[in-house]
Structure 1
Amino acid sequence: MITWQGFLKRFLSDPVAIGAGFVLLVLVTMAVFAPWIAPQNPYDLLQLNIMDSEMPPSWRDGGDERFWLGTDAQGRGVFSTILYGTGISLLIGIGAVIVQAVLGVSLGLWAGYRGGWVDSFLMRMADIQMSLSTLMIAIIALALFKAAFDANIYADYAIIMLIVIIGIAEWPKFARTVRSSVLGEKNKEYVDAARVIGLPARKVMWGHILPNTLTPVLVISTIQVAEAIMTEAALSFLGLGMPTDKPSLGSLIRSGFEFIFSGSWWITLYPAIVLVTLVLALNLLGDWLRDVLNPKLRRGDD
């Protein structure tokens, strides 16, 4: 297992990892401190003025220095909506991965340790789940939810629904990875010793085997956050994600797409750039973690 000193040394020696980490840190910090950084609260109707709608960025003719990146059709500053929207996208992405990890790790740990019909049943369920498109499952579930409740209820529970649906749709990736690790660990001497002293299966699984299977979970989690953010953005672009009054990056792109050919390109372009940058940074960090935490690759480097 790589030490923290070795981990930090490899990180500081990789310019791609440093760049991706720095970009991610900046975006997360801006999202967390959006209420203090943003010059305008896009959720406060008292701060909005429809006369400010579709203003270009401040450095272009007709721009206003109050709105650095221009405004959207509701008169909201694009910079402010990006800050708040990034926070919502990250919240949904991280929340969905927590749901995926809890379900996937639990079921994968149980399947790998128990084996037999339990393993066969859970893995066949995982195969069926993976054969279905996450986007298709989410579209059906959200369309039904949106049809069953009015717009106000949907707006109130949109974040929770997106987290749960995206989380449930992607649990097999964690389950299969953890199961594979458990199969390699459960017959080792430390597990046999735990059984010999009479520890129940629950403690053997969660207290002894699980800590030795978390490395691949960390790698998957980083990449899955990026995938969950992209899934939410796609759903919002289709009108099934976040409502326009609580914008995520995806809903910001959608709200400005109809204006892109009329000259108000900044409404869509800047949120799209932030979305691509965020997802790219997460994917680069995930790939770097996979390379660093893979023992075979480390031995090859040595």
Structure 2
Amino acid sequence: MITWRGVLSRFLGDPVAIGAGVVLLVLVLMAVFAPLLAPQNPYDLMQIDIMDSEMPPAWRAGGDERFLLGTDTQGRGVLSTIMYGTGISLLIGAGAVVVQAVLGITLGLIAGYRGGWVDAFLMRLADIQMSLSTLMIAIIVLAIFSAGFDANTYADYAIFMLILIIGVAEWPKFARTVRSSVLGEKNKEYVDAARVIGLPPRRIMWGHILPNTLTPVLVISTIQVAEAIMTEAALSFLGLGMPVDRPSLGSLIRSGFEFIFSGSWWITFYPAMVLIALVLALNLLGDWMRDVLNPKLRRGED
């Protein structure tokens, strides 16, 4: 049986997990408290001066102590844009995973518990969905969306569109995981007992079977947040994600990419390093959780 004390003990005994956890915690706190910690609000035009554009980091010749990591082409401090951009990337990643989980858990529960043609239909639907690239679907939908609306409308709804598109495109991963767990749980004695006393299928699925399938869901959620952040970064780099004036890490990388070989390397370099650290930390924690919560691995250690 998994206990929080046992999980904490294994976490404190794993230097890689501790390192990943610390990095993730620092980045999350940096994003949450960006309005208080950031030297500049990159959304406030009154704080931006175009004359400050493309300043190098403060320790290099021509740098300014106001801008520790330099400035971008609009005169915004790179450190400030990273703080705010990390928050947007995390929001999109977490929001997309919530959409994936709601759809995937619901359909996976129904498929696994009902079986028969319902299971076959939902799993074939999942197969079709998984055969299509998430990036391809997102590019098509966002291209249509950006073409059908003006720039201001696109900017206002871009974050919601990204969450919705990435979430809908990735639901089969949750559905297949939950379905597999349900197939192993639905014939156990506690489920038979619930049926005997007359509980409705909906209550059995959500109140009895679902709690026993949440361990793999928790593991896949961590990894899916990282994948969603990477997908958003790729879309923003292609010009179909967050607009430049409301930066995510991906749009920050894109905004400075054309200047990377002209000397202003810091505009792209630092957001890219933060993105790599964020995704790596999430993946390492996901791998650690999978190893800790996997019953087979625990038996092997015992």
Question: How does the TM-score come out when normalised to structure 2?
Answer: 1.00
Matched, 1:224 2:224: yes
Instruction: Supply the AA of the counterpart residue of 1:158.
Output: A
1:23 deviates by: 0.4
- Counterparts of 1:141-290 in structure 2, within 5 Å, are 141-290=141-290
Cross-structure match for 1:4: 4
Partner of 2:13: 13
User: What is the CA distance between 1:100 and its match in structure 2?
Assistant: 0.1
Distance 2:277 2:107 in 1: 33
Q: 1:301: Cα distance to partner?
A: 1.3
* Mapping 1:106-117, distance limit 5 Å: 106-117=106-117
**Equivalent position SS for 2:198:** coil
The equivalences for 1:112-123 within 5 A come to: 112-123=112-123
Which amino acid in structure 2 is aligned with residue 147 of structure 1? Answer: A
SS of residue in 2 equivalent to 1:261: coil
2:281 and 2:230 map into 1 onto residues whose CA distance is 13
Aligned to 2:36: 36
Partner residue, 2:130: 130
Task: Determine if the alignment matches structure 1 residue 22 to structure 2 residue 1.
Answer: no
* Residue identity in the other structure for 1:111: A
Extract unaligned runs of 5+ from structure 2.
Answer: none
The residue type equivalent to 1:113 in the other structure is Y
* CA deviation string 1:214-263 (max 9, x = no partner): 00000000000000000000000000000000000000000000111110
Give how far 1:59 is off. Answer: 0.0
Give the 3-state SS of the residue equivalent to 1:11 in structure 2: helix
The offset of 1:264, in angstroms, is: 0.1
| Residue identity in the other structure for 2:223 | I
Q: What's the CA shift for 1:2? A: 1.1
Secondary structure, counterpart of 2:81 in structure 1: helix
Q: Quick one: distance in 1 between partners of 2:252 and 2:174?
A: 31
Q: How does 1:28-67 map to 2 (within 5 A)?
A: 28-67=28-67
CA RMSD of aligned residues (A): 0.4
Identical positions, percent: 86
Query: Within 2, Cα distance between the matches of 1:217 and 1:140?
Result: 29
C-alpha distance in 2 between matches for 1:122 and 1:152: 38
User: What is the Cα deviation at residue 128 of structure 1?
Assistant: 0.5
Aligned residue type for 1:229: I
Give the Cα separation in 1 of the matches to 2:146 and 2:112: 38
Give, in angstroms, the shift of residue 10 of structure 1. Answer: 0.4
Q: Tell me how far apart the structure 2 counterparts of residues 293 and 142 of structure 1 sit (CA, whole Å).
A: 37
Could you report, residue by residue, the CA deviation over 1:42-97 in whole angstroms, capped at 9, with x for unpaired residues?
A: 00000000000000000000000000000000000000000000000000000000
Q: 1:231 and 1:33 mapped to 2: Cα distance?
A: 25
**Structure 1 unaligned residues grouped into runs of 5+:** none
Task: State the alpha-carbon separation in 2 of the partners of residues 270 and 5 from structure 1.
Answer: 37
Corresponding residue pairs, total: 302
User: Are residues 1:74 and 2:74 paired?
Assistant: yes
